[in-house]
């Protein structure tokens, strides 16, 4: 039988053949079982002949210099710029997707820019970015490309950041996170019903990933929960989520509660009121979590970092702008000497809140 031509494709990892002739993708818990020529739910992985392929290697929907606080990462080289890019497709189907033009894109609609891993790493150095972020759509589904880009970045001293929903299989996660210096993982809600109804995913799989990254890797971890009015913003659910983070991951993992805006297939909900984000932050802090933030609103009090020992303000922050610095050269509180978890330098970067699209030479 002739195999289907998907255009430019590379062999995909993490799959096996089934007795009935289909091929099962093991990259994420969906375990798509495919006949010749079929694509998985993520659209970008497909069966070609006897194997799985990735159809988006080396192609991107665009490159942009962003503030690292936008990922969001508040404890990883604050104030620096990060060269950000994504591809197309996603392995979740969130009705509230805030990046649906990319995640729902069919590859050829959007992937206009071509770039080798080495070209991306060189562009990061040239532009002064301290890190490269795999973001906009979930990098798990383009693992082979992300891992190669990460290796090229590390060769030239550029760090790597994954922005992901953490919905991937056990076999793939060790390779994926070994390549990442930092990750912001979405914890989209705290009930199986939320994940099943709104994302067709599973909460347990994401909790497994969070525990794995915290306890079995060197990847710096922060968590984001987008609060959607009436869906995942009850005080009980926020308390349960925060208690889980405190008990299973510990007090030093930063937790971001960010504001939803109506998008994609969820146009019937209002934007998250700032008071909801502030309430969530208070609930989470009461469980003992040290670094809890509000996001997508102006709230300098809720976006600054405070010393867990003496409550001095360590990093002033207003949305993506650094407004104050109270850490010493060791990344400890300049007032009392208590360490703040994360990766800090003697001074913050000066990138500010800018967003600057860039074009990368293909080779």
Least Å distance, CB 18 to ligand SF4, is 13
For residues 193 and 200, give the distance between their C-alpha atoms in angstroms, rounded to a whole number: 9
Distances (CA, A) of 155 to 84, 118, 148: 18, 9, 11
User: Least CB distance from residue 139 to ligand SF4, whole Å?
Assistant: 11
Residue closer to ligand SF4 by CB (options 14, 212) is 14
Q: Which of residues 168 and 280 has its CB atom nearest to ligand SF4 in the complex?
A: 168
User: Nearest to residue 163, comparing CAs of 239, 241, 231, 256?
Assistant: 256
Give me the residue label for tokens 């987008």. 226
Determine, following the binding rule CB under 6 A, whether residue 42 of this chain makes contact with ligand SF4: yes
C-alpha 209/C-alpha 205 separation (Å) is 6
Count of residues near ligand SF4 by CB under 6 A: 12
Does residue 91 touch ligand SF4 according to CB under 6 A? yes
Is 147 a binder of ligand SF4 (CB under 6 A)? no
Using alpha carbons, select from 66, 54, 71 the residue that is nearest to residue 10.
Answer: 54
Minimum distance between the CB of residue 317 and ligand SF4, rounded to whole angstroms? 35
Q: How far is the CB of 165 from ligand SF4 (least distance, A)?
A: 11
Choices 28-36, 77-85, 247-255, 329-337 (CB under 6 A): range interacting with ligand SF4: 28-36
* Among 129, 149, 139, 252, CA closest to 185: 139
Residues 6+ apart with CB under 8 A from 263: 96, 97, 98, 100
Considering the complex, state which of residue 100 and residue 325 has its C-beta at the smaller distance from ligand SF4. Answer: 100
Kindly state whether residue 192 participates in binding ligand SF4, applying the rule CB under 6 A: no
Contact letters (x/-) for ligand SF4, 105-144, by CB under 6 A?
A: ------------------------------------x---
Helical residues (DSSP H) of the chain, grouped into ranges: 100-103, 107-110, 117-127, 143-155, 170-178, 192-194, 203-216, 235-244, 274-286, 300-303
Among 6, 9, 23, 45, binds ligand SF4 (CB under 6 A): 45
- Nearest distance, CB of residue 15 and ligand SF4, angstroms: 8
**Residues in a beta bridge with 131:** 82, 159
Give 186 or 299: the residue with its C-beta nearer to ligand SF4.
186
133 burial (CB, 10 Å; 0-12 / 13-18 / 19+) is: buried
Burial (CB count within 10 angstroms: exposed 0-12, middle 13-18, buried 19+), residue 345: middle
**Least distance (Å) between residue 135 CB and ligand SF4:** 17
User: Which of residues 16, 17, 18, 31 is near ligand SF4 by CB under 6 A?
Assistant: 31
* C-beta closer to ligand SF4: residue 17 or 330: 17
How near is the Cβ of 141 to ligand SF4 at its closest, in Å?
5
Query: If you write DSSP's letter for every residue of 37-65 in order, what string do you get?
Result: T-B-TTSSEEEETTEEEES-TTEESEEEE
Closest CB to ligand SF4: residue number: 40
- Residue 70 in contact with ligand SF4, rule: CB under 6 A: no
CB-wise, 40 or 86, nearer to ligand SF4?
A: 40
Alpha-carbon gap, residue 191 to 193, rounded angstroms: 5
For tokens 């995909």, the residue is 12
Can you tell me the distance from the alpha carbon of 333 to that of 285, in angstroms, rounded to the nearest whole number?
Answer: 19
Selected binder of ligand SF4 within 30, 70, 130, 313 (CB under 6 A): 30
Residues within window 6-25 making contact with ligand SF4, judged by CB under 6 A: 25
Indicate the pairing of strand 15-17 with strand 23-25.
antiparallel
Binding region for ligand SF4 (CB under 6 A) = 25, 27-28, 30-32, 40-42, 45, 91, 141
């Amino acid at each position: 039988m002739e195999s289907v031509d998907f255009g430019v494709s590379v062999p995909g990892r993490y799959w096996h053949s089934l007795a009935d002739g289909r091929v099962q993708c093991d990259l994420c818990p969906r375990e798509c079982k495919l006949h010749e020529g079929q694509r998985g739910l993520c659209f970008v992985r497909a069966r070609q002949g006897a194997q799985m392929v990735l159809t988006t290697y080396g192609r991107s929907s665009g490159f942009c210099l962003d503030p690292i606080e936008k990922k969001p990462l508040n404890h990883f080289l604050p104030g620096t710029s990060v060269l950000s890019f994504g591809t197309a497709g996603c392995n979740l189907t969130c009705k509230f997707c805030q990046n649906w033009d990319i995640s729902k894109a069919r590859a050829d609609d959007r992937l206009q820019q071509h770039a080798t891993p080495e070209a991306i790493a060189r562009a990061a150095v040239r532009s002064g970015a301290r890190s490269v972020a795999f973001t906009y759509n979930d990098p798990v589904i383009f693992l082979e490309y992300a891992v190669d880009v990460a290796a090229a970045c590390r060769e030239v001293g550029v760090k790597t950041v994954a922005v992901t929903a953490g919905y991937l299989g056990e076999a793939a996660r060790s390779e994926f996170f070994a390549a990442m210096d930092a990750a912001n993982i979405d914890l989209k809600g705290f009930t199986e019903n939320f994940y099943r109804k709104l994302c067709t995913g599973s909460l347990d799989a994401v909790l497994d990933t969070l525990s794995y990254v915290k306890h079995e890797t060197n990847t710096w971890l922060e968590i984001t929960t987008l609060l959607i009015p009436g869906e995942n913003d009850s005080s009980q659910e926020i308390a349960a989520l925060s208690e889980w983070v405190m008990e299973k991951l510990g007090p030093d993992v930063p937790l971001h509660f960010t504001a939803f805006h109506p998008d994609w297939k969820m146009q019937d909900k209002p934007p998250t009121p700032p008071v909801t984000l502030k309430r969530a932050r208070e609930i989470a802090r009461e469980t003992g979590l040290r670094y809890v933030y509000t996001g997508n609103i102006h709230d300098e009090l809720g976006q600054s970092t405070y010393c867990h020992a003496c409550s001095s303000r360590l990093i002033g922050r207003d949305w993506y702008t650094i407004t104050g610095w109270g850490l010493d050269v060791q990344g400890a509180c300049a007032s009392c000497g208590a360490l703040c978890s994360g990766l800090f330098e003697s001074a913050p970067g000066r990138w500010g809140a800018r967003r600057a699209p860039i074009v990368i030479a293909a080779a």
